[in-house]
Amino acid sequence: ASRTSGDGKLILTGQLGEVMKESAQAALTLVKTHAGSLGIDGGCFERSNVHVHVPAGAIPKDGPSAGVAMFVALASLFTDHPVRNDTAMTGEISLRGLVLPVGGIKDKVLAAMRAGIQRVLLPARNRRDLEEVPPEAKERLEFVFLDNVDDAIRHAMRQ
């Protein structure tokens, strides 16, 4: 994500499906909603354009699973607090800030492990899906379960 001077536009690039575009819009709305608790000047949103690019060539991406990651990326952008580089995350977000369960936990956890990640943030409601994760991954990774986006900020960003 990147921010430039502007008039409050959200620009989304990459091969994103409609659901992922909606997740990005919801993430920005949540950051605006949480501006006070995050220490963000609410007026900066109207003076900034936000560009979210989801790379990976020609591979189409869709679904709500990146909602938490988009929220954290945008919160990081507006607070200037970097996101931990040893942490992966997944989860759908609601406009009330709840982190909702997603599918494909086993595959996402194994991909994180292959990428050298040390911590994985997962929706609390996906806790039972860890039963499908191989023991090696459970031993090598730290799992943090999220109920809401405040949990995500606390565990994903360097303060």
Is position 65 annotated as part of the catalytic site?
Answer: yes
Catalytic residue among 5, 23, 108, 138: 108
Phi-psi bin for 88: left (phi > 0), alpha (psi -120 to 50), beta?
beta
Closest alpha carbon to 30 in 2, 69, 1, 71? 71
Catalytic residue among 37, 65, 94, 138: 65
Q: What is the dihedral of CA 110, 52, 71, 119, to 10 degrees?
A: 30
Is position 32 annotated as part of the catalytic site?
Answer: no
The DSSP code sequence of 69-100 is HHHHHHHHHHHTPPBPTTEEE--EE-TTSBEE
Residues identified as active-site:
65, 108
